[in-house]
């Protein structure tokens, strides 16, 4: 008969304390507001080709759909369990930068003013909101 210890790394006092700090950080109105705005930005990015009208830009429309859903799912993960997903907050600003440059990378010279403005505005918002989500994690590490 073997006995198995249930005191693994997940029960270490430092890890438990860190999870408690991240849970407290995610419960603040600022963090919840940031997560909600990231979800909205992601959902708008996903449906923007049909709202703004990206006629003839199928590749860019598919790109916006996929990246928008990815951003919204990341934000949903942050809202659901920030203690376990905070390490992925850096991905949101990276997707925001990609969103900014995507019209030129994907459509090249054929990009229109509406495709460029939509992606640049949503991309900048996504970068800023992603940095804010990262800031929540950084503040809690110092605190």
pLDDT at 138: 67
pLDDT at 20: 58
pLDDT at 80: 81
Q: What is the dihedral of CA 79, 82, 35, 122, to 10 degrees?
A: -120
pTM attached to this predicted model: 0.77
Helix axes 13-26, 58-85, angle to 10 degrees: 130
CB 107 within 8 A of CB 115: yes
- Does residue 17 register a pLDDT over 60? no
pLDDT at 82: 65
4-13, 57-66, 73-82: range with lowest mean pLDDT: 4-13
């Amino acid at each position: 008969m073997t006995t198995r210890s249930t005191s693994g790394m997940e029960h270490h006092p430092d890890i438990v304390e860190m999870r408690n700090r991240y849970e407290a950080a995610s419960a603040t109105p600022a963090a919840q507001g940031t997560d909600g705005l990231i979800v909205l930005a992601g959902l708008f990015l996903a449906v923007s080709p049909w709202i703004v009208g990206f006629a003839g830009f199928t590749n860019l429309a598919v790109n916006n759909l996929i990246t928008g859903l990815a951003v919204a799912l990341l934000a949903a993960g942050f809202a659901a369990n920030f203690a376990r997903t905070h390490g992925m907050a850096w991905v949101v600003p990276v997707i925001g930068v990609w969103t900014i440059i995507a019209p030129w990378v994907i459509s090249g010279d054929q990009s229109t003013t509406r495709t460029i403005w939509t992606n640049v505005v949503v991309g900048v918002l996504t970068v800023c909101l992603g940095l804010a989500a990262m800031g929540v994690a950084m503040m809690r590490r110092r605190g």
